[in-house]
Structure 1
């Protein structure tokens, strides 16, 4: 039975796919960053702004989405490297579970004051929330409004106070800086600095950090996202709520390449703060633990669209992954089979993301043998990938050549391919 040449008919026609340009635009997160510099004009950190949503749609959910996108998608090293990140927060988002996923040393939370109408009681009621965030290791930044008498209880919690150069007359700069220095331990940041004169005035008063158009316009960092279907994320959330085993959760991650890609990319981002790279799904699940995994899945749910990438591409990727895993099981040790699965699943990332494969793979930590197979068609997994593609395309010559090179019979390969197709079918039937 030569099933390998029949399966090409089951694969999607190219005409059904959106264009790469349309996919790329739909999957893009746009984050603006503006440098915050020290007196030597060295970058101290970056303030991030989400440019993917309307400017006025600043909510607890959009705060969470910005942090999530910044740490997961914008290839954190390209976005912020080892620098400190300043992110604007609503008061609601300070109590959000998403902060549990972030390494506090990396992030300064910019907290607004409550406005001129706020009563002393309203101001006081936020103290426990602010203190709790500080206790967890986050630093807080406030505007100069925190220097008003009504906010005196907030001032000791400030790591940074930002002085808006557009909000006060030049002659008030000195008394304002001296007051802030006398009443707080905070580092002062002169923001919206637009002239050399403003910079020199504030530097001469002992201000240490500067931000504004005189130094740098905000630059845009575009990140490709690849979102799992909401049905899959719900499955993950349900597994976590049922306190499923690591093995069961790993199975779900293996079903959905977009889910596993997101998890590996997130857990290896600089914001997560790990000292070693995580390259296996099981390791990722064990490091996160169920509570954080639930937070991560819930965040992914809120930032994902109703539909993920075209399902046919994901389906093909899953078949590839399973087929490679089954073929590798005939010849390689068990620990290598997981990597074979990853090679198969991630071999279609370019189609899913609408960007070249090399660019897609820059954003996720993978073992070198996996990268060798995907990018250079070399190493232990390369012949398995070639055989898998031959099964898919119905290329008899390539099929015969690669099967022979691996000492696999037609019957072994065809049987594995049928099993992989059946496995992929059963996954979609579960939803």
Structure 2
């Protein structure tokens, strides 16, 4: 429940004057450590925009970006993530997309002047969140008489070391431990003396400059065009079949990449990795798929056409699928499509392919083809690239290796180009 990032950072003005890259999700995180200074979790702040407003929409965007784009960097292993919330955001659909065990919701007090009835009126929402498995954190305002009814719901209470005198630390800690079962967190700890004082009083968790300044986690994002996302939303709203939704995912590499990366993020809480589009749609279900698409819509560019590299990736995927259909079983054709589509992720993201693929789960044969150019899909990929570049030597070598005639390959390439063109006309 640290104050806004602008207050937490020594140079508050500088982020606001930098140009905003719409493809960059910038998430600040500050460590929360235990008494032995091992990291217990991270509090996250959104630094992607110049705005310092904290709204329900910004809460949703922060959580979505953390899960979708920052991947394992922001959600390190099994560390707990603390997210500041507004009361408006607590009933937001974005919370249905995450695993409650992964996230602590930091609940602010109501504005000054709130009536006892207004404070009591928040209880059903808070109790429902706790029933769903979320842990709630309050600041020391919750120790005031008006908030007594909230205290039994507290999993954490954060004590702001800049908000009270040292002599009040002991009574505050005693009151908090007597009236709640919450784990106490001393925040804005800036000196060794503050740390030692709170540790001597039995406080177990600490946060502040004395341990670590907020650090930035940057992740380049690729986001589908809004037109494609609207197509997905419309399919979900009319309760289209899994096959229809899978077809749309296969048409847009940015959409499918985002979905696989999101559903395999640690915040989603699955115990197994999802490696196919069909499996992702079935696991997510229509309701959560709609929520995901709606959130993706709010974080995507409003401009239209997909970039040329995306078009090339779709052609590659379709061509590999068609060539594989001549020689491999149907489930392997799906993987061939994925190899083709994701073979240009390095260009899309501007990072090495190995790094791009860290954030998405793919079958080992797919990874072999993409990273090592080995395995069953490698000659299909090499042949596809040869078709694209006009490399006659590579074309002949790989077509021979696969026992495919020039006519078969050229016909498949024409079909793939026609199919990709038709997608832009829909």
- Shared fold (TM-score, shorter chain, > 0.5): yes
The Cα offsets for residues 387-412 of structure 1, whole Å up to 9 and x where unpaired, read as 10111111222212211111101110
Q: Is the 8 A contact 1:161 1:187 kept in 2?
A: yes
Root-mean-square deviation (CA, aligned residues, Å) is 1.3
Q: CA deviation at 1:133?
A: 0.8
Provide the C-alpha distance between the structure 1 equivalents of 2:415 and 2:348, rounded to a whole number of angstroms. 24
Q: Which has the higher contact order (CA 8 A, sep 6+)?
A: 1
> What residue in structure 2 maps to residue 364 of structure 1?
360
Cα distance in 2 for partners of 1:114, 1:222 equals: 32
Secondary structure of 1:75 counterpart: helix
The answer to whether the Cα contact below 8 Å between 1:309 and 1:352 also exists between their aligned partners in 2 is: no
Runs of 5+ in structure 2 lacking a partner?
A: 1-19
1:73 pairs with one of 62, 69, 75: 69
Q: 1:43 aligns with which of 39, 43, 47?
A: 39
Distance 1:236 1:310 in 2: 15
Is this contact kept in 2: 1:227–1:309, CA < 8 A? no
CA contact (8 A) 2:75 2:267 kept: no
CA contact (8 A) 1:34 1:211 kept: yes
Corresponding residue SS for 1:305:
coil
2:214 aligned to 214, 218, 226, which one? 218
Distance in structure 2 (CA, Å) of the matches to 1:198 and 1:401: 70
Say which SS state the counterpart of residue 369 (structure 1) adopts. helix
Q: Does 1:99 align with 2:95?
A: yes
Aligned to 1:10: none
1:415 aligned to 393, 411, 417, which one? 411
Question: How is 1:251-262 mapped onto 2 (pairs within 5 angstroms)?
Answer: 251-262=247-258
1:336-392 Cα distance to aligned partner (Å, 9 max, x none) = 000000000001111111111111111111111111111111111011011101111
Match in the other structure for 2:13: none
**Which residue of the other structure, out of 230, 242, 245, is the alignment partner of 1:246?**
242
Q: Residue deviations 1:9-28, cap 9 Å, x none?
A: xxxxxxxxxxxxxxx95421
Equivalent residue, structure 2, for 1:89 = 85
Specify whether residues 32 and 78 from structure 1 end up closer, same or farther in structure 2 by C-alpha distance, changes over 3 A only.
closer
Q: 1:142 aligns with which of 125, 132, 138?
A: 138
Match of 2:4 in 1: none
Aligned with 1:235 (options 228, 231, 252): 231
CA contact (8 A) 2:75 2:81 kept: no
> Which position in structure 2 is the counterpart of 1:9?
none
1:272 alignment partner in structure 2:
268
Contact kept in structure 1, 2:233 and 2:293, CA below 8 Å: yes
Structure 1 residue corresponding to 2:160, chosen from 157, 164, 167: 164
Q: Distance in 2 between matches of 1:394 and 1:203?
A: 69
Q: List per-residue Cα deviations over 1:65-111 (Å, max 9, x = no partner).
A: 11111111112256422111000011111000111110000100001
When the two structures are superposed, what TM-score results if normalisation uses the length of structure 2? Answer: 0.93
Task: Give the whole-Å Cα distance in 2 for the aligned partners of 1:84 and 1:55.
Answer: 26
Contact 1:86 1:110 in 2 (8 A): yes
Matched, 1:380 2:376: yes
Gaps of 5+ in 1: 1-23
TM-score normalised by the chain length of structure 1: 0.92
1:167-195 per-position Cα deviation (integer Å, ceiling 9, x unaligned): 00111111111111111111110000000
SS of 2:149's equivalent?
coil
Deviates more, 1:130-139 or 1:26-35: 26-35
Asked if 1:200 corresponds to 2:184, the answer is: no
3-state DSSP class of the match of 1:73?
helix
User: Following the alignment from structure 1 to structure 2, what is the Cα–Cα distance between the partners of residues 309 and 60?
Assistant: 30
